[in-house]
Amino acid sequence: MIEVGGKFQWLEEGEGGQPIILLHGLMGGIENFGEMVNFISAEYKVYGLDLKLFEGSLLKVSVKSLSDYLYKFMKHLNLKSAVLIGNSMGGHIGLIFSKEHPEMVDGLILTGSSGLYENAMGDSFPRRGDKDYIRKKTEEVFYDPKVATNELVDRVFEIANNRVSILRLLGYAKSAIRHNMAEDLPHFKMPICLIWGEHDKVTPPKVAHEFHSLLPNSELHWVPLCGHAPMWEHPEEFSKIVLQWLKAKF
């Protein structure tokens, strides 16, 4: 169920007490969380915030500005605190937000998160006009290339062939590098759940191990036969880990 209010657009499902906010990645949207929302919202209140990555002023393109956007969204809904679930750059936004507003973060679930290692489009940004290349790079995000549907490839292709969108992608990527979190993570006190695909090529398993070693109150879970987006590729297994962790912590 898509809601619109103020300058925000978000998905809202469920009736449970503990609010959960989903944060999508650089090349995605709230639809990335797909079937997972059905599993989680059966027991919790779920909000999927559309980060509107390709709208607004180019001058405000940064992971820090997206953290500020999340703050305004929570104020708009009068949410005093929530558990954040972030995939890829969405995880990075969650980390910056947790550093700046720890009292508003009950817990953090990171999956294929950036923040320590930036390789958002593999080894290079998409080449304009080369659809086969776009398909190959999109398929690499997943363990099973069939998850990269024609619709998804078309969306990435459209972004890659829009000059302003490419400037935004570069802006976010540079901003992510500037906001490396390695020195901040040892100071995080909230419980953190790391859920990683065993075959993640974008943020490889070594990144998950590094997050786990730096975050004092973290657990690390692996999803086999899975790439960079476990909540998308294996929604039921991902949700099972999330629900068990939430019940143990809250």
- Cα distance between residue 116 and residue 114, in whole Å: 6
| Alpha carbon separation from 87 to 16, 164, 192, 242 (Å, rounded) | 22, 24, 14, 13
pLDDT of residue 123: 45
Question: Is the pLDDT confidence value at 73 over 60?
Answer: yes
pLDDT of residue 60: 81
What pLDDT shows up at residue 118? Answer: 62
How confident is the model at residue 126, as a pLDDT?
A: 53
Give me the pLDDT at residue 65, please: 95
Is residue 177 a contact partner of residue 118, using CB atoms and an 8 Å limit?
A: yes
Segment 191-243, tens digit of pLDDT: 999 999 999 999 999 999 999 999 999 999 999 999 999 999 999 999 999 99
pLDDT in tens, 125-180: 555 668 888 899 899 999 999 999 999 999 889 988 888 988 898 899 889 888 99
Q: Tell me how crowded residue 233 is: count the other CB atoms within 10 A of its CB.
A: 21
Segment holding 108, helix H or strand E: strand 105-111
Is 50 exceeded by the pLDDT of residue 14?
Answer: yes
pLDDT band for position 124 (cuts 50, 70, 90): very low
- CATH code 3.40.50.2300 for 2-120+180-249: no
CB 229 within 8 A of CB 111: yes
**What's residue 57's pLDDT?**
81
Q: What sign results for the dihedral spanned by CA atoms 196, 197, 200, 205?
A: positive
Max CA distance (Å), the chain: 49
- Domain map of the chain by residue range? 2-120+180-249
pLDDT band at 121 (very low <50, low <70, confident <90, very high): very low
Summarised one tens digit per residue, pLDDT across range 21-71 is: 999 998 778 887 889 999 999 999 999 999 999 888 887 899 999 999 999
Output 62 or 2, whichever has higher pLDDT. 62
**42, 51, 75 from 193: Cα distances, Å:** 20, 22, 25
